[in-house]
Structures are given as C-alpha cells and as structure tokens.
Amino acid sequence: MSIAIQSPTIQKNEELARWGSIITDPRTGQPCKYMPLHPKQKLILDIVKRFNAAVAGTGGGKTVCGAVWCVKQIERAIRQYGKCLGFIVAPTYKVLARATVPTFVDALKGTALEGIYKASQSYYELPNNWGRIWTQGADNEGGLEGGQFDFVWGDEGGQFRKKVFDAIIGRTGAKEAPILITTTPYGLGALYEWYKKWKSEDADYNFVIFPSIANPAYPQAEFERAKRSMTPEKFRERYLGEFLRMEGLVYPKLQDALITTTTDEILTLLSLPGKSVGGIDYGWNDPFCALAAKIPSISSNDGKFREGVAYVWYERYKSETPLEEHAAALPKPIGNSILWFSEHVPENIMKLRKGGFRVKKAKKAILPGIDVVNSRFYSGTIKIIENRCPAIVTEGEQYVYEPNRDDEIIGDKPIDKDNHAMDSMRYMIMGLDYREAA
Ligand SMILES: Nc1ncnc2c1ncn2[C@@H]1O[C@H](COP(=O)(O)OP(=O)(O)OP(=O)(O)O)[C@@H](O)[C@H]1O
Ligand SMILES: [Mg+2]
C-alpha cells in the first residue's frame, strides 16, 4: 500500500522519504507525521502478508515498528471501511502498560488519528467515530476471545502460547486481516511454526529478522560489550535475533499436548479405571520435582479423556524443602496407587517406601528416554494439563539440544539446565513405556 507523498517539505528530504514512514490523514491522504524508521522496519511496513513477524535483537526497534505498523493498518482500514477495529496484545498486562501501549499512543500523537487511551477500559478511542483499538495482556486469556479485527499486533509475541496464537488467528479470520508479531526469539514452539512456513516459502508469511544495531540509535559499544560477555549462541539469539534455540527443541510437539481442565474433570479422570505413574527428581537448591500421570483404561463419558493416553495431572516443583515435607504433600489416590519412578538416591527411595509409597528406580538413559517421550508426543498419547503443571510448560519451551562448535544444532545432548520437570517426565514415561529387548 503506497501513499502519495504530497508535502513538499517532506519530499525535499530524500533520505527521510526513503526510510521514513509518513503517517497520513486517511481523509485527505495528506502526510501529518514523520516517524524515523530503519530499512528493516520499513520492510515490515511495506510487505504486509496475513502473517508477519519482525524478529530482532533487543533494542532493535521492534516495538516502535509495531506501533507504526498499527497506525498504517488503521489508515488502511479507515480508507477501506470508514472504520477500524484493532487489537494489540503483549505477553502480560505489565509489558503492555509499560512499553507497548505508550509506544502506540506516542506514534499517534500529533496525527489526524490521535484519540484517547482509556486505560480502565483497555482501548484506544480513535477520533471521528473511526473505531477502537483494544489492548490486552495475553496473561488474561479470557479477554482474547470474541470479535473480528482489522489487524492484530502482538508485541513480544514469541512468548505467546499456542492458544494465544489460535485466538488471534481466529479473530482475524473473517477479514483475513494481517497479524504482526514483533519479538526477540524465544525457545517457543508456536511462532516457530510460522517461521517454518515462511522458510518453506508459504506466500502468507513474512519474516524480517534484524540485529539490535539495525537501529541507528542502538549503541555499537553496548553491542560489542554484549558480544564479549556471553556465549555466541546467546548473543546470536539476543542481539542478532536468530532463531537458534527453536531449531533445537527436544520436545517440539509439547505445545500441541497442552490441555486445561477443571478440578471436577481431574476428579473424573482419577476415578476412571487405569494405571497411575509418577516421576521424581530430587533437588535442594534446584527444585525437587514430582509429576504424576493417569492412563485410563477406558474413555470418559464426555470423551475428554481417552483410553491409553497419559494425562499428566500433578506437579510439585519446589526448592529448599525437606523430603518429609514433599512426601506429606504427594498425592495418594485411594484404590489406584501411583507407581513412582525415582532418581537413584537410595536413601530417599527408602524413606519414601517407608512412608507407604510404591517406588522404583528410574531408567535414567537420556536419549532412549527422550525417544520414548517423543513417541508419545508425536502419537498424541500424552496430554499435559497445563493449568496444573506450569513447570513442564516453562521448562519444555526452553529445553534444547546443545549446539556444536559451529553453532549447528545436532541433536544429541540436551543442555543440562532447568530440566527438573523434564527429567521427572522422562523417568515417568520411561517407567510406563520402556520394555527391555528380550
Ligand atoms: N529507526 C529508528 N531510528 C532511531 N531511533 C529508533 C528507531 N527505531 C527505534 N528507535 C528508538 O530506539 C529505542 C528502542 O526502540 P524499541 O523500544 O522499539 O526497541 P525494541 O526492539 O522493542 O526494544 P526491546 O528489546 O527493549 O523491546 C527507542 O528509544 C526508540 O525510540
Ligand atoms: Mg520492545
């Protein structure tokens, strides 16, 4: 969408006309504000597909770029429909209020589109009855449902869960309206799906990837300092905006296995006939983690729980706590006792057995364990109740293979860090599924 630039003052400065973004009055097409944009930001404004992402290093100018993109979308919608309904999302209300909304409000200031932000109602009211731009933290999931928009902008959207992506895709479906995600890369599966589509040259996707220093305002010295102070992988991810860790996720399908349930539904699940297993990984400074799963041998009446699927419904994740206290807290479902697969700490195993728990030594081999867990993920026979098991979700999003010296992810050894729920899950599923070769 190109807008005729009619103001001679702006036309005079060729550099500005080339790299700048001109915000126009949608009624007249007259320019009313100039925003400085660097070439990569400009690229995001110029090529608008249905699914767009600006993935960049910290301070690269993502949020400014997102805000100006929104303004351009508002102009377009008003020209097209005489009205605009937009939606701006950030991972949390805090990020939204601190960075995203102020940048957006600032971009509109002094333009023909300047209106009023009504913080208590979470929307920006455009002037002349031109419509509203709703704003929302993705931590308030209920607020993501309902309504159709002319555009959606997700700031730091690499942190969004798959559910949030599904919601915003749904809310732009009727008008096939564009979505823009601006973000630094995270080890998350949801945006990575888009990235793969873009890589495979799907025409509905556009990614622009740029480093922090694409922003002329970003200090070169700070960029160099960061380069010296961290591993090359971290630097590439944080300052060059590269999708390094996503390539190496150990459980790339984990996001698809997440479900939410109510307490009543958990009670139904536990009342079904079937097996119960658990996994335990010990820690003091690092967290202790215990997980438990139920594998029903028949499906529930409402079809929510299927026969043969392992539903991970319990998680305890806590540091600096004596084993006695953990043991007192662990579930003991009546009539269906859990068989716990434990890390090899004989003294702890003894203690738990004395406390009436059924405990077996876990099979610890990492790679066969990952295989067994992944075959459940790929066949859809493991479901993780995410509202009960937040540590699995958090660790799972970060659980990656170590890159080799050339920074290629070769997939043989996961990074040994923040993996307590990952280990417990492996012990548990190994205990459930692994059969020794005869
Ligand atoms: N093209 C540009 N030219 C000059 N300054 C810019 C440009 N783009 C952004 N800036 C300025 O650089 C700073 C960082 O921009 P912004 O907040 O958009 O970056 P970000 O990538 O969202 O950063 P963060 O990683 O902190 O979220 C802001 O002060 C912004 O005004
Ligand atoms: Mg930002």
Atom of ligand 1 nearest to the CA of 184: 25
- CA quadruple 413, 415, 417, 422: dihedral sign: negative
pLDDT value at residue 273: 96
- Give the chain's end-to-end CA distance (angstroms, integer): 66
Task: Locate 378 and state its tokens.
Answer: 């790929």
Question: Of 62, 41, 49, whose CA–CA distance to 201 is shortest?
Answer: 49
Phi/psi at 297 (nearest 5 deg)? -95, -5
61 CA → ligand 2 middle, Å: 7
Distance CA 381, CA 307 (A): 9
Q: Determine if ligand 1 sits within 6 Å of the CB of residue 37.
A: yes
Question: Of 115, 125, 183, 187, whose CA–CA distance to 155 is shortest?
Answer: 183
Distance CA 157, CA 12 (A): 37
Task: Locate 116 and state its tokens.
Answer: 């009023």
45 CA → ligand 1 middle, Å: 15
* Residue-range domains of the chain with CATH: 8-240 (3.40.50.300), 254-437 (3.30.420.280)
Distance CA 190, CA 186 (A): 10
pLDDT value at residue 417: 81
206 CA → ligand 2 middle, Å: 19
217 CA → ligand 1 middle, Å: 7
Element spanning 35, H or E? strand 31-35
User: Could you please report the per-residue DSSP string of 350-362?
Assistant: HHHHHTT-EEEEP
Whether this model's pTM surpasses 0.75: no
Q: Determine if ligand 1 sits within 6 Å of the CB of residue 56.
A: yes
Give strand ranges (E) for 70-203: 84-90, 116-118, 123-125, 131-137, 151-155, 179-183
Distance CA 155, CA 168 (A): 13
Q: Per this entry, what is the length of the chain?
A: 438
pLDDT value at residue 13: 43
Question: Residue 147, CB half-sphere, CA atoms under 13 Å: how many?
Answer: 16
pLDDT value at residue 436: 63
Pairing of strands 116-118, 123-125: antiparallel
Q: Determine if ligand 1 sits within 6 Å of the CB of residue 39.
A: no
Distance CA 423, CA 245 (A): 19
Distance CA 99, CA 123 (A): 15
pLDDT value at residue 403: 61
Residue 422 makes CB contacts below 8 A (sequence gap 6+) with 250, 251, 392, 395, 396, 399, 414
**Token pair 């999708």 in the structure block, residue:** 243
With the CA atoms of 10, 16, 21 and 24 taken in that order, what torsion angle do they form, in degrees rounded to the nearest 10?
Answer: 0
Residue 100 makes CB contacts below 8 A (sequence gap 6+) with 63, 66, 67, 88, 90, 135, 155, 156
Residue closest by Cα to atom 10 of ligand 1: 61
pLDDT value at residue 94: 93
Residue 218 makes CB contacts below 8 A (sequence gap 6+) with 59, 60, 61, 212
Taking the chain (438 residues) in runs of 10, the rounded mean pLDDT of each run is: 38 43 79 84 94 96 96 95 96 94 94 94 96 93 83 93 89 95 79 86 96 94 91 84 74 90 96 96 95 97 96 97 96 89 96 95 93 94 96 88 56 81 98 76
Starting at the edge strand found earlier in the chain, the sheet holding 123-125 runs 116-118, 123-125, 131-137, 84-90, 151-155, 179-183, 51-56, 205-210
Task: Locate 225 and state its tokens.
Answer: 């300092």
Residue closest by Cα to atom 19 of ligand 1: 61
Distance CA 320, CA 193 (A): 38
Q: Determine if ligand 1 sits within 6 Å of the CB of residue 63.
A: yes
Q: Determine if ligand 1 sits within 6 Å of the CB of residue 58.
A: yes
Distance CA 169, CA 179 (A): 8
